[in-house]
Copies of this chain bind each other. A is one copy, B any other.
Amino acid sequence: MSKTEVTLGIDIGGTNTKIGFVDRAGNCLVATSMPTVAPVEVGPAEELSLFLERLYQTIEKTYASIADTTELKGIGMGVPNGNYYKGTVEKPTNLNWEQYVPLARILQEKYGIPAVLTNDAKAAALGELKYGVAKGMKNFLVVTLGTGLGSGFYVNGDIMYGADGFAGELGHVTVKVNGRMCGCGKKGCLETYVSATGIRRTVYKLLADHTEDSPLRKVSFDDLTGEMITEAALKGDKIAIEAFEYTGRILGLKLADVVAIAMPEAIILFGGLTRAGDYLFEPTRKYMEQYIMGLYKGKVKILGSGLVGANTAVLGASALIWNELDKRQLQPA
């Protein structure tokens, strides 16, 4: 019997690292998760070599259950600050790794199969292209709404990497010249308004400005999460709904700029905050339409992610390597 071809998708997040083995059709045959940093009571964050040791164990244990029936073709990874061109992770924050880790080469040498990496938002875009709502599209982008705001642009039928592999930092376009302080050192960046962190700040501003009662008044800033705000909105809390309206207005304004520049077929919103549904999508659509020029009005779809289940990030990482394997096959020998 011929074996099913699979790829290994790895999503390295700030908190958890997820891995999964995915076939060509996008079925995740087996998946698991491990903490990105090993829990230590005292002492410095884990070194790269120890992380890799745990990662290899996790990969091998997980693959064991399907090793007899599958053939592993390659490895794709989504990593914050991942540089597709060089296969490196550069200046990773929150990790006690070296400044430039050649992670693609390390995995490729370890397992003797092709390995590629990119950042998480670009992997998500490839996931939507291969398995989600962007099938067949040549021009679209994915906006990931997590702790920060990331984006992956697909232009002319390929991911837009820019001159050095780091294009797509939509989280750091300027909304307001003297606006909210951003972790990047600038002020007024889009992700200080539109992200889980951004909407927390908006909720606190609204709680300060208004007098309405709200369950969110009982939660400290440090304890407040995007999930709580989403839940509150879905239950009709006025402050939470107003926070989503404000978030959508700013996102819509900047997406109108994106449309003027890149004229995508669709913009796909991805991540936890999208669970708020119309509370987020309606104002985003409304204000985007308001701020785009006549020629473009009504032409650009704003969609929710088409990736389902718990393994969306793994599917994106897997799509990256499937894409790469297909490209290499097309190359003349």
Contact = CB atoms under 8 A, between A and B. Distances in A.
Interface of A: 138-139, 151, 153, 155-156, 158, 160-164, 166-174, 177, 184-186, 189, 253, 256-258, 260-265, 291-296, 299-300
A292 B162 CA distance: 15
A185 B289 CA distance: 13
Given A153-B261, A155-B156, A261-B258, A295 B173 contact: no
Ranked nearest first, the 6 interchain pairs of A and B with the lowest CB-CB distance are A162-B263, A167-B263, A173-B257, A163-B265, A169-B260, A184-B293
A139 B264 CA distance: 18
A96 B170 CA distance: 41
B164 A299 contact: yes
Quick one: which of A166, A184, A253, A257 has the most chain B CB within 10 A? Answer: A257
Given A186-B291, A293-B169, A156 B161 contact: yes
B163 A264 contact: yes
Given A158-B156, A261-B258, A177 B253 contact: yes
Contacts of A167: 139, 261-263
B172 A260 contact: yes
Contacts of A186: 291-293
Nearest to A173: B257
Given A253-B174, A293-B184, A294-B185, A263 B163 contact: yes
A47 to B, nearest CB: 24
Contacts of A164: 263, 299
Contacts of A177: 253, 291
Contacts of A294: 184-185
A325 to B, nearest CB: 19
A276 to B, nearest CB: 24
B184 A163 contact: no
A172 B265 contact: no
Nearest to A291: B174
Contacts of A262: 153, 160, 162, 167, 261
22 contacts: A138-B163, A153-B262, A156-B158, A160-B262, A162-B263, A163-B264, A163-B265, A164-B299, A167-B262, A167-B263, A169-B260, A170-B261, A171-B260, A172-B292, A173-B260, A177-B253, A184-B295, A185-B294, A186-B291, A257-B257, A258-B261, A261-B262
Contact of A160 (B156, B168, B291, B299): B156
